[in-house]
């Protein structure tokens, strides 16, 4: 564990071995100023990076997260999701097991080494672009782990990209022969699962973003299913300027969720 002092709190850079993928992954953990193992445990927000990014991206593009961890007394975890995993367990590549890694390896690791709230009401997950899809996908499939979820500029429907614009064939297989994988792993097709669980959602996208149609479709499906959620479109394109601003609103949303669900 390598610690670097910052303006508010501390950032730890961790190496975590993944048995499911047989490799070491990395993540950053932001703890608030005054963090200690006394008093009440801390809620945890997991923030997922986008396609072609890595675990360092969030703090580079949104350095204010250090101060927000301090202001809201929460731990912020930025995992590494690989270059193009979409945070899935690939049905065609046994070396890609990021769903398993995050839910059964990373979360228990964080809970073991940090003073965390260890119930869904004390955990939230969000992300940008590929990470927006990953955050909703993981939260919907694992409501016993994550109690709230968000997406910023998320690629919420994988099916329009069957021409492999995002290296999806390597994760899901050739759409000509493995189309069901594309259907099953697109988060827009998981809305029906939300009827049986309580999962506060916050979704936003820039009006100049190429993922806007998928976000509008997700919003429409949630409305038709009667699933409560917050949905926002604001000026912006698919870039760091957009999500470095959007994350401020999401952190407040999750802070309110944590406060409302104090143990």
Global pTM reads 0.96
Task: State the greatest distance between any 2 C-alpha atoms of the chain, in Å, as a whole number.
Answer: 56
Tell me what the mean pLDDT of segment 2-21 comes to: 77
Examine the pLDDT at 9 and tell me if it is beyond 80.
no
For 122, the token pair is 């004390």
Task: Tell me how crowded residue 62 is: count the other CB atoms within 10 A of its CB.
Answer: 22
Question: Higher model confidence: residue 164 or residue 24?
Answer: 24
pLDDT of residue 224: 98
pLDDT of residue 3: 39
Reported CATH class of domain 2-258 = alpha beta
pLDDT of residue 165: 75
pLDDT of residue 177: 96
Torsions phi, psi of 67, nearest 5?
-70, -35
- With CA atoms as reference, report the closest residue to 52 among 21, 27, 25, 85: 85
The per-residue pLDDT for range 100-114, each reduced to its tens digit, is 999 999 999 999 999
For 204, the token pair is 């936003």
pLDDT of residue 6: 40
End-to-end Cα spacing for the chain:
30
- With CA atoms as reference, report the closest residue to 210 among 126, 125, 153, 128: 153
Of the pLDDT bands very low, low, confident and very high (cuts 50, 70, 90), residue 8 is low
The per-residue pLDDT for range 133-166, each reduced to its tens digit, is 999 999 999 999 999 999 999 999 999 998 767 8
pLDDT of residue 163: 78
Examine the pLDDT at 4 and tell me if it is beyond 90.
no
The per-residue pLDDT for range 164-211, each reduced to its tens digit, is 678 899 999 999 999 999 999 999 999 999 999 999 999 999 999 999
């Amino acid at each position: 564990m390598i610690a670097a002092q910052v303006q508010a709190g501390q950032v730890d850079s961790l190496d975590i071995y993944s048995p499911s993928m047989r490799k070491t992954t990395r993540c950053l953990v932001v703890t608030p100023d005054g963090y200690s193992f006394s008093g009440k445990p801390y809620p945890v927000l997991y923030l997922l990076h986008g396609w072609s990014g890595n675990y360092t991206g969030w703090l580079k593009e949104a350095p204010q997260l250090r101060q927000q961890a301090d202001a809201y007394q929460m731990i912020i975890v930025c995992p590494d999701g690989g270059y193009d995993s979409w945070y899935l367990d690939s049905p065609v590549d046994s070396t890609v097991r990021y769903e398993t890694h995050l839910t059964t390896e990373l979360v228990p690791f964080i809970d073991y080494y940090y003073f965390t709230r260890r119930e869904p009401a004390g955990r939230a997950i969000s992300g940008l672009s590929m990470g927006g899809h990953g955050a909703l996908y993981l939260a919907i499939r694992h409501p016993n782990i994550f109690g709230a979820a968000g997406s910023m500029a998320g690629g919420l429907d994988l099916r329009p990209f069957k021409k492999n614009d995002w290296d999806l064939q390597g994760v899901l297989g050739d759409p000509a022969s493995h189309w069901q994988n594309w259907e099953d792993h697109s988060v827009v097709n998981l809305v029906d699962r939300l009827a049986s669980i309580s999962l506060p959602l916050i979704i936003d996208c820039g009006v100049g973003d190429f993922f806007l149609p998928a976000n509008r479709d997700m919003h429409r499906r949630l409305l038709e299913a009667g699933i409560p959620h917050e949905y926002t479109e604001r000026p912006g394109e698919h870039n760091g300027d957009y999500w470095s601003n959007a994350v401020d609103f999401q952190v407040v949303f999750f802070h309110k969720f944590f406060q409302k669900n104090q143990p």
